Chain A
Amino acid sequence: MKQSRIPPNRREILMGATAGVTALTAPGLLRAATPMHVVVVGGGFSGSTAAKYLRMWGSSALKVTLVDPSKSHVSCVMSNLVLNGNLKLRNLRFSHSGVAAYGVDVVRDKVVSVDPATNSVMLKNGGKLGYDKLVLTGGIGFKKIPGWDTKTAPHAWVAGGQTLQLRRMIAGMPSGGTFVQTVPKSPYRCPPGPYERACVVADILKSRGGGKVILLDANPGITAESGTFSRAFSQLYGNIIEYHTDASIDSVAPDGSEIVTSVGTFQGDVLNVLGTHRAASVVRKSGAVPSGSDFAPVDPLSYASTVSGMGDVHIIGDSQGTGQPKSGHMANAQAKVCADAIVRTLAGDPIDTIERKDAITTNSACFSPITKNAASWLTAVFRYDTATGQMALVQESLGEAGKWTRGNYRDMFDWANNLWADTFK
């Protein structure tokens, strides 16, 4: 029973409205004594989109609270361009006031615990928020690696301070120096991203007269845009990028000078460790990630947790475990399906009609800078598969640019600007 936790008085009102007992001109949710409350945890791509669309689609019938410890979100999308100086970090900073303009209450605090039994979350400042539905986001966490210290070997895979730190470290590399970078084992955030970063760094080193990028991939091969990146690695950066596959990390020297992997030990002037991912800490602590899993299992009709007793908790974005690619664009896509499901469920409407299942899609489009002024792209559509109850890639929709061009670099800014606007503004 999806609605078992809605207080009885509200339920009666809702059911009455649906049955046509109340005036036809008064939509059901407006008749509730107090609005339904959805708490969204985390103001990144998935959380911001969910909060905005919940208010757009649920409007005054829904009270939406966004909880985030920061005033703004720093976009990982385009953040490799901070490394070469094409963009400043401030160009990637989006205030939560954008979604607040839709009537979202923004609470600047950190969620320290989730109690699905009482439908409430505890805040760091000691406060407590009750919810009818909870949307948990939070991006990614990293599995522990012996010796790894992000102060000496940053990941910069969450944009912000580490992005600037990595930029400074690259700027400080000696002429002809070596940059050692890892690619996490799939699934990880932004499938083309690590290869894109290797290209951006190789381009920086090339412009300074040379150097080396040692790319240590935990996967058996390039996981995304393999046509584009294999050509970039072998031709454009053939004398700079040294690419190794099946390289799982054993340990990292605490001073960031060396990394021990299954394919050898590597030293460099800069070590950029992208560790194996798992769900964000707030999602793991909520109980939505079963032991033995790294991400939260959810029903793609609603992104509600499939863990017993957690049906009012929805997980979207990089922490969910549907197997769709982890990216800002996909997080935005999932948030809309989730928001629609919540609005319908709270209005007493079903979410498992054939018509709705036939309308559930998500898509990914992303651009990758390959040099300081040329980019490639990758795109795919996912559709709900009624037979399996899972999201499935539509094979014919999977495509990549195949070449990097200045035109694509220009299009990349149009894409990013509109994605940011649909998410944060």
Chain B
Amino acid sequence: MLHGAIDQPAIGGSRVDHGQHVLEDIMIKAKPAIGPLVGLLAICATAQTPAFADAYTDSRMLASQCAQCHGTNGQGGNGIDSLAGEEYFDLLDKLRDMARPGETGEVMKFQAKGYTDQQLMLIALYFSSLPKPSGH
């Protein structure tokens, strides 16, 4: 269990905040490539440290800035890609490609340049840990 207010039951019937289950999902979907990170997270979670809860809502807050266009919890819709449940490296590679200097001409090619590489990694990690929207 995470500590504090972030681990409350979801509310509003079908409006499940999938973001609340990110840790469990990361652990379940552990991939070799991010193994060391997952291991670290697991240790933190076991120890019930507030530090992890902090890092957790940091990523949630950071990733929520994508929702204006990509839907609440990255669920997509209205012709804009969903981000939830996409492969971590697929998301990260796309973000890094768009962040490259000289890439212009689309909204996302400018947006991606607004984040540090560390932020892009956290965004990709967060969305990859969410379940895909139903129907995908």
Which residues of A approach B to under 8 Å, CB–CB? 17-18, 20, 24-25, 27-30, 53, 55-62, 101-103, 329, 332-333, 336-337, 340, 343-344, 346-350, 353, 355-356, 358-363, 365, 377, 379-383, 394, 396-399, 411, 413-415, 417-419, 421-423
Q: List 8 A-B contacts (CB under 8 A).
A: A59-B10, A329-B68, A349-B4, A363-B68, A381-B111, A381-B114, A396-B101, A415-B69
Pick the residue among A62, A337, A421 that contacts B72 (CB under 8 A).
A421
Cβ contacts under 8 Å, A398 to chain B: 110
Question: Is there an interface contact between A418 and B48, defined as CB atoms closer than 8 Å?
Answer: no
Question: Is there an interface contact between A59 and B111, defined as CB atoms closer than 8 Å?
Answer: no
Question: Is there an interface contact between A55 and B11, defined as CB atoms closer than 8 Å?
Answer: yes
Contact stretch, chosen from B24-32, B74-82, B88-96, B127-135: B74-82
Q: Hey, what's the 0/1 contact readout for B1-45 against A, CB within 8 Å counting as 1?
A: 101111111111101010100000000000000000000000000
Cβ contacts under 8 Å, A348 to chain B: 4
Number of A-B contacts (CB under 8 A): 181
Nearest B residue to A377, CB-CB:
B107
Question: Is there an interface contact between A359 and B119, defined as CB atoms closer than 8 Å?
Answer: yes
Nearest B residue to A61, CB-CB:
B5
Question: Is there an interface contact between B5 and A418, defined as CB atoms closer than 8 Å?
Answer: no
Question: Is there an interface contact between A336 and B114, defined as CB atoms closer than 8 Å?
Answer: no
- Give the 3 A-B residue pairs with the shortest CB-CB distance, closest first: A381-B114, A59-B8, A397-B114
Question: Is there an interface contact between A27 and B65, defined as CB atoms closer than 8 Å?
Answer: no
Assembled-state Cα–Cα distance A413/B57 (Å): 31
Report if B54 contacts A (CB, 8 A): yes
Cβ contacts under 8 Å, B65 to chain A: 333, 336, 361-363
Question: Is there an interface contact between A60 and B9, defined as CB atoms closer than 8 Å?
Answer: yes
Cβ contacts under 8 Å, B6 to chain A: 57, 343, 347
Cβ contacts under 8 Å, A421 to chain B: 71-72, 77-78
Cβ contacts under 8 Å, A417 to chain B: 77-78
Shortest Cβ gap from A19 to chain B (Å)? 10
Given contacts A56-B17, A397-B111, contact A356 B58 (CB under 8 A): yes
